[in-house]
Amino acid sequence: MPDHDRHHDHDAPTHAHHHGSVAHEPSANWKHDYDEAYRAAEPNPGRQVVPIELETSECDWEFVPGKTTRAWAFNRCVPGPTIEAHVGDVLQIRLKNRLPEPTAVHWHGLRLPAAMDGTEMVQRPIPPEGLFLYRFKLLDAGTFWYHPHVNETVQLERGLYGPIIVRGPEEPRFDAERVFVLDDVKLGKDGQVKPPGGWMEQHSGRQGGTRLVNGREEPEITIAAGQIERWRIVNASSARSVRLSIGGAPFRVIGTGGGLIERPVTKTDWLIVAANRADLAVGPFEEGQVLRLQSVSKEGGKRGDLYATIRVGPARPSRAALPDVLRRIEPLAAGAAVPTREVHFGWKPGMKHGGHFLVNEEAHHRDKPVCVGELQIWDVINDTLMDHPFHLHGFFFQVVDINGDTPEFLSWEDTMNIPPKGRIRIAWMPDDRPGEWMYHCHILEHHAAGMMAHFEIVR
Ligand code: C2O
Ligand code: CU
């Protein structure tokens, strides 16, 4: 493919100024890195290249049945199409931007080369009518998602996001599988998405009054009695944490952001912070049951905001088989590990952007480089009184401890809540994918205001 077909003219002006964020330029050799990553992406033996066509555009969408809203969407759907593939496949995504403003897409949770990460550090935003090709190999099974990494408080809120499912060679067997993308949208009386709000919204993060499951307000879902389903949940909200409950009925958590956990864990509610995912084994239920898929305010909470109504229909036979051991995860670090870095998430009063949202005392922080192959043990410290979902691009980490306590189970994560005035210790290994990476709070308003850091991974 000729070079100019792969990405738009790189001499086009950049549009990195959004909501007070500072302008970032990709490094001088981004095009070279991009071409190299593009060429290097070859499927594993027996696997394939999966071609995906995505188009961002404005379109009419009924978040609320019967009410038309001007949304922004991938392929005119909220959420965008579910991208499904296997470990070892190569995704080749042709992205056409038909929005009235620039965009670029981040593949949240995927371990891909830096050049394909979709941030302003590794590519120029794609101008209106521009085209960009992303191409990378899928290394891990799990539930991931894609969303723009430009003007996020507007682009995601209006509906630009979609799920990614990557299947491994061995997956537990279920009677059915569903993807539920949760969101909330702030609609005005005219039924249109409200423009970004003032100080308070920027401070607390935007929470809309219309709760969505797969782009619809409070849908009804039918499940067969006697069956066990795999539900892949993605929280695509701008800011809202969802402690999910299925009418208080027990379910089993089988996976988190970085794929399956070691063993199923039985819960009656489960916290999914903004940008995080959870895989649940749900059921069996009895015919005639009606359950509220809802968020509850605290562990063991009874009633909360409705997301969907689940109706249990006539029984069907089950062939689900959920093993006791789902996966083996080797711990990267012992509890006594010595931290290699401290990262402080902070806030200071200020008139603009809901105050100053900082990493290590600085908005849009530049953090020290990290070396390939050197184990990273980071203490991520929340100096504020709010929750901040910490997201690391491109690499999975393990949580060593939260506020000094060992987590309930070992898992791979890319997004983890840091409780108010709390601290998480994480361990991660930079494998050989040098380049510009970042971490940030995934409350979109906080990220835009500067609660983020860039850093380089070097060989
Ligand atoms: Cu899901 Cu930098 O983001
Ligand atoms: Cu935050």
How is residue 142 written in tokens? Answer: 């799990």
Residue pair 414/396 in contact (Cβ under 8 Å)? The answer is: yes
Which residue CA neighbors atom 1 of ligand 1 most closely? 108
Classified as helix, coil or strand, 261 is strand
Which ligand is in closest contact with the Cα of 110?
A: 1
State residue 29's pLDDT score.
Answer: 86
Residue 446 CB–ligand 1 contact under 6 Å: no
State residue 6's pLDDT score.
Answer: 57
Ligand 1 atom closest to the CA of 149, numbered from 1? 2
Burial state string for 394-420 with b = 16 or more CB within 10 A and e = fewer than 16: bbbbbbbebeeeeeeebbbbbbbbbee
Mean pLDDT of all residues belonging to the chain: 94
| Rg of the chain (C-alpha set) | 21
Has residue 9 got a pLDDT over 50? no
* Structural domains for the chain: 4-167 (2.60.40.420), 176-315 (2.60.40.420), 341-458 (2.60.40.420)
Ligand 1 atom closest to the CA of 145, numbered from 1? 1
Residue 277 CB–ligand 1 contact under 6 Å: no
pLDDT average, residue stretch 65-79: 97
Has residue 448 got a pLDDT over 80? yes
Classified as helix, coil or strand, 272 is strand
At residue 240 the predicted structure's pLDDT band, cuts being 50, 70 and 90, is: very high
Span of 131-135, 303-307, 368-372 with lowest mean pLDDT: 303-307
Rounded-to-integer distance, Cα 117 and Cα 174, Å? 32
Ligand 1 atom closest to the CA of 440, numbered from 1? 2
Q: What secondary structure, in 3-state letters, does 31-61 show? A: HHHHHHHHHHCCCCCCCCEEEEEEEEEEEEE
For the segment 267-290, what is each residue's pLDDT rounded down to a tens digit? 999 999 999 999 999 999 999 999
Ligand 1 atom closest to the CA of 393, numbered from 1? 2
213 alpha carbon – ligand 2 mean position (Å): 23
Percentage of the chain surpassing pLDDT 90?
Answer: 91
For the segment 391-415, what is each residue's pLDDT rounded down to a tens digit? 999 999 999 999 999 999 999 999 9
229 alpha carbon – ligand 2 mean position (Å): 33
At residue 26 the predicted structure's pLDDT band, cuts being 50, 70 and 90, is: confident
Burial class (CB in 10 A: 0-12, 13-18, 19+), 257: buried
Residue 149 CB–ligand 1 contact under 6 Å: yes
**Residues recorded for the chain:** 459
Has residue 4 got a pLDDT over 50? no
Has residue 15 got a pLDDT over 50? no
Which residue CA neighbors atom 3 of ligand 1 most closely? 108
Percentage of the chain surpassing pLDDT 70?
Answer: 95
State residue 8's pLDDT score.
Answer: 47
pLDDT average, residue stretch 251-275: 98
State residue 28's pLDDT score.
Answer: 79
Residue 267 CB–ligand 1 contact under 6 Å: no
